[in-house]
Structure 1
């Protein structure tokens, strides 16, 4: 199991060796620093914690600064984003302070990408859940409204989980089994086939796909 923290740059198109046009997402993957190692004896599970980005030391809490100092990370620039990648006990565990770059991945591997979707604010049910709405004629007057949300006598309340208007987007989502089209190691860039959640500039967690074996061909 391998993983990195990255940033979504945008989307473009590339040609493969057969001249087929492939839509890809450009991701700046790393460099990341190993800031902590979780063990089953101490924490109850095994994982590595990665740090990404830069933040001035004066803008970092003392608790986080002390935590990062254990990995030898001191000075004016400290990682701004911390994420964990679960590993198994048989995986090779990197030492604290080790820098990981995009070259840990290879072309044709499959990845799972976790990102935060774009926020859409408060939306009605037609946009949020693709409701059909009411009729537009013959006394309808509720074209984009919800309709009935319950009964008066029983159960006498709105059932939990009822789909209603509310906040849309700005939630974590995972896209699985995205194929690596190209690895640009010198620039720490990955080209992944397809789209990933979030806007350009959003932070992403990139990890090995859990449903496909490394190097498997699609």
Structure 2
């Protein structure tokens, strides 16, 4: 059974367990997710879910028609995934925290925090050069391999550039506690992105 739930990152704190240990946890606000589209395929089923009801004026006419076709409110975020179990979800079904349990293992995907333009040492963990007075190679990238042959720099060369702001997935995260009344999920460890970032919880 594969389920995807969309939520929002609140922040981090710590919890004390019965053994007296303090463990770092992340609080996630899980909004009500609704199934907006279901398409049956030969080997799997495509399930599309929506999150965060928004004003129709902020969407295109095609998206408004997509929701109006199934008498659904307009959602700001959509996520489509594959489900191997046919007939498990129908259009209009609500996906909540009841589909998760404590001590369960999940995977969380989100966009990592942007670090801006960074040098090769910070971006790729390069080692610095000698810091002595005569050295002129303290934090330089070094040779980039563009000699007579091949006469160019190969794509993908590790150099300075934009760091962060990429989709990141952290697997095997443990669910510590579930607050059904406030729709808050407490997981162990950290989650990519800053406060208020949209996260996708994948239960395989």
TM-score between the two structures when normalised by the length of structure 2 = 0.92
- Superposed, 1:36-51 pairs within 5 Å as 36-41=37-42, 45-51=44-50
Partner residue, 2:17: 16
- Does the 8 Å contact 2:44/2:86 carry over to 1? no
Measure, in 2, the Cα distance between the counterparts of 1:158 and 1:139.
29
Structure 1 residue 151 displacement after superposition: 4.1
CA distance in 2, matches of 1:8, 1:128: 25
The answer for unaligned runs of 5 or more in structure 1 is: 211-218
Secondary structure at the counterpart of residue 13 of structure 2: strand
Q: Which residue of 2 aligns with 1:118?
A: 113
State the secondary structure of the residue aligned to 1:52.
strand
What is the CA–CA distance in structure 2 between the aligned matches of 1:151 and 1:137, rounded to whole Å? 28
Tell me the CA shift for residue 16 of structure 1.
Answer: 2.8
Q: Which residue number in structure 1 is paired with residue 83 of structure 2?
A: 87
Q: Quick check: 1:67 aligned with 2:63?
A: no
Identify if the C-alpha distance between structure 1 residues 20 and 133 changes in structure 2 by more than 3 Å, giving closer, same or farther: closer
Residue 186 of structure 2: SS of its match in structure 1?
strand
Write the distance in 2 (CA, Å) between the matches of 1:151 and 1:205: 41
Q: Distance in 1 between matches of 2:92 and 2:11?
A: 29
Q: Deviation per CA, 1:193-212, whole angstroms, max 9, x where unpaired?
A: 1111100100001011x4xx
When the two chains are superposed, the root-mean-square deviation of aligned CA atoms in Å is: 1.7
Q: Which runs of 5+ in 2 are unaligned?
A: none
CA distance in 2, matches of 1:47, 1:114: 19
- Measured against aligned partners, the alpha-carbon deviations of 1:97-145 in whole angstroms (never above 9, x if no partner) come to 1121112111011110000000111111011011113222253223211
How many residues are paired up? Answer: 203
State the 4+ residue runs in structure 1 displaced beyond 4 angstroms.
none
| Gap change, CA 1:39 and 1:99, over 3 Å in 2 | same
Q: Output the CA distance in 2 between the equivalents of 1:105 and 1:38.
A: 24
Tell me the CA shift for residue 91 of structure 1: 5.2
Match of 2:135 among 104, 124, 140: 140
Shift of 1:192: 0.5
TM-score scaled to structure 1, two decimals? Answer: 0.87
| 2:51 paired residue number | 52
- Corresponding residue SS for 1:33: strand
Alpha-carbon shift at residue 163 of structure 1 (Å):
0.2
Q: Distance in 1 between matches of 2:58 and 2:144?
A: 47
Larger strand fraction of residues: 2
Quick check: 162-171 or 142-151, which moved more?
A: 142-151
